[in-house]
Chain A
Amino acid sequence: MTDYGHDLLFGTFVTPTGAQAVDLAVTADRAGLDLVTFQDHPYQPAFVDTWTLMAYVAAKTSRIRITGNVLNLPLRPPAVLARAAASLDVLSGGRIELGLGSGAFPDGVAAMGGRRLTPGQSIEALAEAIPIIRDLWDTTTRERVNHQGEYYKVVGAKRGPKPAHDIGIWIGAYKPKMLALTGRLGDGWLPSMDYLPKGADSLPEMNARIDEGALSAGRKPQDIRRLLNFMRLDGGPAQWAEQFADLALNHGISGFILGGDSHELAETLAEEVAPATRELVEKERGAASQR
């Protein structure tokens, strides 16, 4: 039994095509979902640029929180990304989270003019990028930001703008090193159920690696929110709520993000699945606190 005690978030995983993706985001917003998230594969010709889409969606929505799921770090240098994310957080009234990945598909990255890194190098690059991003967001000091890293060099950058809220850095991670990094440096973990090697059975071990990473850096396991993407789900809304509640109470998952690019599914998630899941989880959490 692992429950990190976070409030539950429900959202959609949207393919970043043009107008259709905006419409799906608007539906998710109106339906009352917590999150709308966009995958980021800039080398995919049929997709629009995910950051541009997010900024546009921020203007077209009013309540929902928006994140990349996950943004491709090799094609989005941290200093630019930090400033863009902070700007959009300001413009959207604090609705931006930063889903970030070390970048799969090196051929695609190279096709967009990006540098080709080995998986090991891209993890090191991510470990360099996160402190840069956090420094640029930290406006409690006016001291210029300097980083002399192996992958990123920042010289005398001014800080800001100050984000409207504490932007979470949510990391797409699967392999042990990335999980440890998520625990050390991240605010959230954002993998896809379909890519977990043993499905939900992988969660205890993967959670444990994140927890160890957090503890090794003097942080607490609950400092890292655990979210999960689902590209497809069997059964109906009632079963999904049970499945989600089980994942929340036993594996500490507190974000449930559905793919499928369906308006109807987004509405069902908001109107049926989310309340039912919350009820199940609150009941159990309430009972646990009584014990």
Chain B
Amino acid sequence: MISLDPDAFAAEAERAGGTVVLHETDDGGLDPWTAAVWLAGRNDDVRISLAQPVAAATTEMRDKAYESLEILAGPRLTAEIQRREGIDYDSIPASLADVAIAPGDPRYRGRKSTYMRGGSPGLILRPRTPAEVADALEFASRHRTVPFGLRSGGHGISGRSTNDGGLIIDVGLMNDVQVLDEERRLIRTGPGATWKQVAAVLDKYDWAIGSGDYGGVGVGGLATAGGIGFLSREHGLTIDQLRAVELVLADGTPIRVSADENQDLFWAVRGAGANFGVATAFEFEAAPAAEVGWAQLTLVSPDLEQTLTQFGEVARSAPRDTTVFLIAGPPRQGQSVVQLYGMVDSGDPDTIIERLTPFAQTGLLAQQQVVVTRYADVMGQAADIGPGGHHGAGDPVSRSAFLTRLTPEFARDAVKLLNSGEVYFFQLRHMGGAIADTPADATAFAHRTPEFSVAAMGTSREGIDEAWEPLSRHFDGLYLSFETDQRPERLTDAFPPATLARLRDLKRRYDPANLFRDNFNIDPEVKK
């Protein structure tokens, strides 16, 4: 439709009702995209169908335009979808019609991949309420032949929050962060918020909740797995700050779990949440927060084995207010570059320096940046994910383990791992402190006493598995969020026998048909 009188154009569109189809013309008519956006701004109800892709310099610019319209005007574009086998597109629940994204939809490109993983799901459902989550789960339970994943921030390494040709329930739109009770520092957040957003809200009240080491991570994935970050040694894991979780079970039942109600599920959700439901809200008790010391140190080590051993000793004797993570790359020409980054929960420069000095002495200090700042500013360093979404490619190859004690023998084996050429990223996350204050059987996250969480990333599945194997004698368990090995024994690494048995009992009760089967699946059928 083309009319060069704006009011007539808008009126025509209104009369057309429902959906207006805009065609590219070759007669000097209006630019379809400009007309579409203007119309969306003029009329809050009209939906727009573009007969041709928008004229743009590049596909990146075209996708940005589509996503921008959605940000400004909500989901208004309709498109001819490219159907994938095994998905009944005609039976998408009406409540989800405007937040269902299929291939061909202009919004698809920005939601199909995650931070580290390329994907091409057949359908992404983005519920806004628990009732819509239930509708989405009903749809998912009718589609058992295609993969099914859950997505919050889309940052996961192990989590398969995208797939090829399957379904995704993406809770990104449930991202409200509110304060419930100022006196008790209780807050409530949707699963789709990022930790950067949560930290920014809490900062106004001089509060913080420790999350991971990156503010771009979503609440949902982390708060159902563990959360090992810069405040864990002082306050415990992120899941230890949880006071209640609301989720929708496989059969669509909304349920609230806490220390007072549905305690068994509250136990399970804190460490194995993705097996039991779609979390729609989390309630946390925040900790008081003031200024913190934030450090990024670059060390050069002529003897990495010695540096790692010494780092272990320093970390072991550090007070709870100090948390330092280590990243090392392969030694080159006899030298290794080691990055230390971490937090001292004190605004006092002398204390900060005193705490950090022993860490800085584990190698030759090449660069340092130490600032007094806020927890929210450290989380705020994460880049915003704008309309373009994540654009990961391929599948990440990683291993994870909990290190009981950082011994000289471990240091020697770790250097061998780095020398193997199979890993390009090797990280030690400092644990201990308050993490161990919670008993192992209090949450489904049972690994309370290791000194470190160890993670490595490589490029070849076989290569990293082979190089990693010799280290296993130092390990006890793994952190499921950082593990991409899918061999069945990894499940028993994630959950010790007593934990796994209890989880399987609960799985039989709450998800007997094994709808939530994507990541570290606890199969209800397996016999004890």
Q: Does B71 contact A (CB under 8 A)?
A: yes
A56 to B38, Cβ gap below 8 A? yes
Where the two chains meet, the residues of A that have a C-beta atom closer than 8 Å to any C-beta of B are 18-19, 22, 42, 44-49, 51-53, 55-60, 74-77, 80, 83-84, 86-88, 90-93, 111-114, 139, 158-162
Given A56-B40, A75-B58, A113-B57: A18 and B34 within 8 A (CB)? no
A56 to B69, Cβ gap below 8 A? yes
B386 to A46, Cβ gap below 8 A? yes
A-contacting 9-mer, from B59-67, B261-269, B416-424, B433-441: B59-67
Given A49-B64, A52-B37, A90-B4: A161 and B72 within 8 A (CB)? no
> With contacts defined as CB atoms under 8 Å apart, how many contacts are there between chain A and chain B in the complex?
128
Going nearest first, the 10 A-B pairs with the smallest beta carbon separation are A160-B28, A59-B41, A113-B58, A45-B386, A55-B37, A48-B68, A46-B384, A49-B68, A52-B68, A87-B31
- Write the nearest CB–CB distance from A123 to chain B, whole angstroms: 18
In the complex, what distance in Å separates the CA atom of A162 from the CA atom of B64? Answer: 27
Given A19-B72, A49-B64, A56-B69: A44 and B386 within 8 A (CB)? yes
B61 to A49, Cβ gap below 8 A? yes
Residues of A within 8 A of B38 (CB): 55-56, 58-59, 88, 91-92
Interface size, chain B (Cβ < 8 Å): 39
Residue interface bits B29-42, CB-to-A below 8 A is 1, else 0: 11101110111111
- Write the nearest CB–CB distance from A83 to chain B, whole angstroms: 5
B6 to A90, Cβ gap below 8 A? yes
Residues of A within 8 A of B384 (CB): 45-46
Residue interface bits B18-59, CB-to-A below 8 A is 1, else 0: 000000001111110111011111100000000000011111
Interface centre among A57, A80, A93, A114 (most CB of B within 10 A): A80
Residues of A within 8 A of B40 (CB): 56, 59
- Write the nearest CB–CB distance from B360 to chain A, whole angstroms: 34
Residue of B nearest to A16 (CB): B68
Given A52-B68, A53-B72, A91-B30: A45 and B37 within 8 A (CB)? no
The one of A52, A74, A91 in contact with B69, judged by C-beta atoms closer than 8 angstroms, is A52
Given A18-B72, A57-B41, A88-B38: A51 and B386 within 8 A (CB)? no
Q: A42-B61, A59-B38, A161-B4 are in contact. List 16 more A-B contacts (CB 8 A).
A: A19-B71, A45-B385, A45-B387, A45-B388, A48-B68, A52-B33, A55-B38, A58-B41, A76-B61, A84-B33, A88-B34, A91-B38, A93-B6, A113-B57, A158-B28, A160-B29
A51 to B57, Cβ gap below 8 A? no
Residue of A nearest to B384 (CB): A46
Q: Does B526 contact A (CB under 8 A)?
A: no
- Write the nearest CB–CB distance from B57 to chain A, whole angstroms: 5
Residues of A within 8 A of B386 (CB): 44-48
In the complex, what distance in Å separates the CA atom of A18 from the CA atom of B41? Answer: 13
Given A45-B384, A46-B384, A56-B38: A139 and B28 within 8 A (CB)? yes
- Write the nearest CB–CB distance from A65 to chain B, whole angstroms: 15
Q: Does B510 contact A (CB under 8 A)?
A: no
The one of A47, A56, A114, A162 in contact with B73, judged by C-beta atoms closer than 8 angstroms, is A56
